[in-house]
Amino acid sequence: MATEILMPALSPTMEEGTLAKWLVKEGDTVASGDILAEIETDKATMEFEAVDEGIIGKLLVAEGSEGVTVNTPIAVLLAEGETAADISAAPKSEAAPQGSDAPATAAQAAPAHAAPAAITPAPLEPDWPEGTELKQQTVREALRDGMAEEMRRDDTVFLMGEEVAEYQGAYKISQGMLEEFGARRVIDTPITEHGFAGIGVGAAFGGLRPIVEFMTFNFAMQAIDQIINSAAKTLYMSGGQMGAPMVFRGPNGAAARVGAQHSQDYAAWYAQIPGLKVVMPYSASDYKGLMKTAIRDPNPVIFLENEILYGKTFDVPVLEDYTVPFGKARIWREGSDVTLVSFGIGMTYALEAAEKLAEEGISAEVIDLRTLRPIDYDTILASVMKTNRCVTVEEGFPVASIGNHLSATIMQRAFDYLDAPVINCTGKDVPMPYAANLEKHALVTTDEVVAAVKQVTYR
Amino acid sequence: MATRKTKAKSNTSPEELKAFYKDMLLIRRFEEKAGQLYGMGLIGGFCHLYIGQEAVVVGLEAAAKDGDKRITSYRDHGHMLACGMDPNGVMAELTGRIGGYSKGKGGSMHMFSKEKHFYGGHGIVGAQVPLGAGLAFADKYKGNDNVTFAYFGDGAANQGQIYETFNMAALWQLPVIFVIENNQYAMGTAQNRSTSTPDLYTRGAAFGITGEIVDGMDVLAVKAASETATAHCRAGKGPYILEVKTYRYRGHSMSDPAKYRTREEVQKMREERDPIEHVRTMLLQGKHATEEALKDIDKEIKAIVSASADFAKESPEPDLSELWTDIYATQDA
Ligand SMILES: Cc1ncc(C[n+]2csc(CCOP(=O)(O)OP(=O)(O)O)c2C)c(N)n1
Ligand SMILES: [Mg+2]
């Protein structure tokens, strides 16, 4: 019986990919384990292996096709004794989208997708002078550029972590950096977070400016003693004699379907610690500009990235030396009815909600905090004094969240301006479940943000 | 205390060889199916396949008795099948359905079975090793002769908590077998790029723990080592280290570009050292089984695996109320 071979999902976040190269041709006999094609995913080029044996009856998607969505039929596999004539009788394979009865055709496969549009805000006070040339970059590229520019500028800056050098980064952030800076400055470590974080802190005491990458911040829990007890407190304990000018960075928060031990937002944890600075950017230009500031800062900086944002495209200014200061929020959208405060990936929900609310005639002002230590209280308070209502949005747990802290601050400093209690939209008070339906509910949703706004605006 | 290399071969029987063949084939076919379901989007997140390493768990389990415990990392599907967990329940956990061992809430990396004394499935590299020693602590405390198999990788072998555990396990003579599954890579890092000295089985020497290196592509060698180690632990002589040399054929997880080794290297292992082919050859050359008989086994295994895939697709997603259950235990009534 002829079966369809479908475009595979090869990573947790892959939705589509490029069929870079066919390694088989029509008429070839293949066995389980044979490499059929090379497929470029959002992270890497991967070899795609045959699962079943058979004869390649037809290649449905030409090599070089971009934007082939997962589960699109890409080839037909014939069983022994079948011929190409049997292809039209090929049953829909198990994973084909339900409800479409049309036979697989080449036309249906491989729609040529345009490059994803950049997310462009209308910032009230742009971070760059008017007329500056802009280019579209992913968060991943902008972050790498930020690090690389600082490494060119200052020889004491180096990058260390698991798989950062030869593998080019587990999430491809340090792509090309080993080649440019060599093994002295781009250093693969064993899987020993507590140890290499400590070595990083010691190197900072010793006059270097380490960037310590955690493959994800979940694994930084192994190292948190060195981060807090050694990096954050030494300046104070030494009466200002020595400290740890360094950056701890890596993806933070939920990715997709990786379960409880790999999906946690640590923003509130680190924001609690005096002696640390904490950055959690949303846009590519902020990733770049804040990373450069973080590397130059004379204190330990926690730089919280997000795997889902890595592939998102934004406008980035083409400037010689673009930095963004700590403690300055960015207003992404001006509004008069409610203030939405968020940071990092939470901004996606806040901006989406603002869009939906606008359709219903509710005008939301959307503030991206960008840094959580220091926090730009002035921008939040000025906005709340204007709108008289506030909803905070974050992916982390609800108890002792950043939103809780903002609510308390607003209550103390703008109590008379509030027309409704501040609502905190957060992730649910449960470990992250694996099941797809449960995971969706465990995360904060745009609908929850919209509902919260309606509650504070009494609609 | 000694570190040694053994070539001991276990006594075996045609029946046992056939059972090994079946158990290893089940793991291989199960993992191939899981890879396929991942590609179809039915399994999400991280999914670490055990293909190539089958002889390790099957050989170790051969010397286990009822009451023994096991704990491992995220590369756990093989361990679960080898200790007798139901393929349906494992596959349904991979698809995140209510019929899975953790009701769909744990996923590939976090699965458990109290009944089979399988204590997970852990996503944090190295964390399962002190946990395994803790299980052994409980058994010693209770005064029985159970042992715990604590599995970890060559990459994990550098984590500091493992050496803290070695010290306490030796100090308190805990009945734990530290099984280092040395598949020669930690993600994209070849062992020689992460480890100052290559012989991991000698790493207990400073703590007085006997270590042994084992050919992990030969199920009989693994079984023999498991017999020695379990006898040592059951006799109250404390922990034991087995460094089992093995190889993973597939990528680290599904999204692995595999640029750190050559296709030829993998192909050579598959052709020359495959643990399943090894047993198959022994069965055929010893005339313990005919081609026909082995084909029947293949069919039987295929049927089990495709039934597990069907179960995993048909089992419903957990009810949304499950989001809020199992966060706190309640007092037994
Ligand atoms: C503490 C920690 N750091 C990093 C990771 C990411 N990670 C997952 S598996 C892995 C490689 C482990 O290799 P090894 O111990 O050899 O086991 P194998 O995957 O080969 O079975 C890494 C770095 C993690 N899960 N936990
Ligand atoms: Mg390994």
**Nearest alpha-carbon partner for B279 in B43, B36, B58:** B58
Residue of B nearest to A433 (CA): B105
Rounded to 5°, the CA angle B200-B203-B205 comes to 140
Q: Higher model confidence: residue B333 or residue B126?
A: B126
User: Helix, strand or coil for residue B253?
Assistant: coil
Assess whether pLDDT exceeds 80 at residue A81. Answer: no
Closest A-chain CA to B252: A170
Chain A residues whose CB is inside 8 A of the B44 CB are 12, 256-257, 434, 436
Q: Is A261 in the pocket of ligand 1 (CB under 6 A)?
A: no
The torsion region of residue B10 among left (phi > 0), alpha (psi -120 to 50) and beta comes to: beta
Q: Which of the following is catalytic: A262, A305, A394, A395?
A: A262
Nearest by CB: B44 against A8, A188, A256: A256
Domain ranges of chain B: 3-309
| Residue of B158, B187, B250 with the most ligand 1 atoms within 8 Å of its CB, for mutation | B187
Q: Which of A141, A193, A305, A448 is catalytic?
A: A193
Classify domain A3-89 at the CATH topology level: OB fold (Dihydrolipoamide Acetyltransferase, E2P) (2.40.50)
Check if A193 is active-site. Answer: yes
Tell me how far the alpha carbon of residue A208 lies from the centroid of ligand 1, in angstroms: 28
Q: Please answer whether residues B87 and B73 qualify as being in contact, where contact means their C-beta atoms are separated by less than 8 angstroms.
A: no
* B216 φ/ψ angles, rounded to the nearest 5 degrees: -80, 0
pLDDT score of A94 more than 50: no
Residue A110 pLDDT grade (very low, low, confident, very high; cuts 50, 70, 90): very low
CATH number for region B3-309: 3.40.50.970
Q: Is the pLDDT of residue A114 over 50?
A: no
Residues B112, B80 contacting (CB under 8 angstroms): no
Reduced to 3 states, what is the DSSP secondary structure of residue B96? coil
pLDDT tens-place string over residues B252-281? 998 788 889 999 999 999 999 999 999 999
- A310-330 mean pLDDT: 96
> Which whole-number Å values give the CA distances from A305 to A206, A249, A290, in the listed order?
27, 7, 11
Rounded CA separation A344/A371 (Å)? 9
Position B156 scores a pLDDT of: 98
Task: Decide whether any atom of ligand 1 lies within 6 Å of the A305 Cβ.
Answer: no
Cβ of residue A232 lying under 6 Å from some atom of ligand 1? no
Q: What is the mean pLDDT of residues B144-167?
A: 98
Residue A371 has pLDDT above 70, yes or no: yes
Q: Hey, of A217, A434, A444, which one would you mutate to test binding to chain B, going by the most B CBs within 10 A of its CB?
A: A434
Confidence at residue B258, expressed as pLDDT on a 0 to 100 scale: 84
Q: Tell me the domain boundaries of chain A.
A: 3-89, 134-317, 330-456
Residue type, B95: T
| Backbone region of residue A20 per phi and psi (left: phi > 0; alpha: psi in -120 to 50; beta: other values) | alpha
Q: What is the mean pLDDT of residues B147-152?
A: 98
**Is A441 one of the annotated active-site residues of the chain?**
no
Model ipTM value: 0.91
CB A326 within 8 A of CB A293: yes
pLDDT tens digit string along A190-217? 999 999 999 999 999 999 999 999 999 9
Q: How far is B192 from chain A (nearest CA, A)?
A: 10
Q: Nearest residue on chain A to B192, judged by CA atoms?
A: A190
Q: A with B: how many residue pairs have Cβ under 8 Å apart?
A: 177
What's the whole-model pTM score?
0.89
- Pick one of 3.40.50.720, 1.10.10.1150, 3.40.50.920, 3.30.70.890 as the CATH number of A330-456: 3.40.50.920
Which tokens hold the place of B317? 């997603």
Q: What DSSP letter does each residue of B122-189 carry, written as one string?
A: --STTTHHHHHHHHHHHHHHHT----EEEEEETTGGG-HHHHHHHHHHHHTT--EEEEEEE-SEETTE
Determine how many CB atoms are found less than 10 A away from the CB of residue A229. Answer: 12
- For A394, the enclosing helix (H) or strand (E) is none
- Same fold for the domain at A3-89 and the one at A134-317? no
Burial (CB count <10 Å: 0-12, 13-18, 19+), residue A106: middle
B293 alpha carbon to ligand 1 midpoint, in Å?
39
pLDDT in tens, B10-28: 689 999 999 999 999 999 9
- Answer yes or no: is the C-beta of B28 below 6 A from any ligand 1 atom: no
Per-residue CA distances from B277 to A225, B17, B24, B44 (Å): 48, 12, 10, 31
When CB atoms are compared, the residue of B122, B125, B251 closest to A191 is B125
CB A219 near ligand 1, within 6 Å: yes
Is the pLDDT at A51 greater than 90? The verdict is no
CA–CA distance, A4 with A105 (Å, rounded to integer):
11
User: Which has the higher per-residue pLDDT, A222 or A82?
Assistant: A222
Q: Please state the three-class secondary structure of A351-374 as a single string.
A: HHHHHHHHHCCCCEEEEECCEEEC
Could you give the CA distance from residue A115 to residue A106 in angstroms, rounded to a whole number?
21
Superfamily of domain A134-317 in CATH is: Thiamin diphosphate (ThDP)-binding fold, Pyr/PP domains (3.40.50.970)
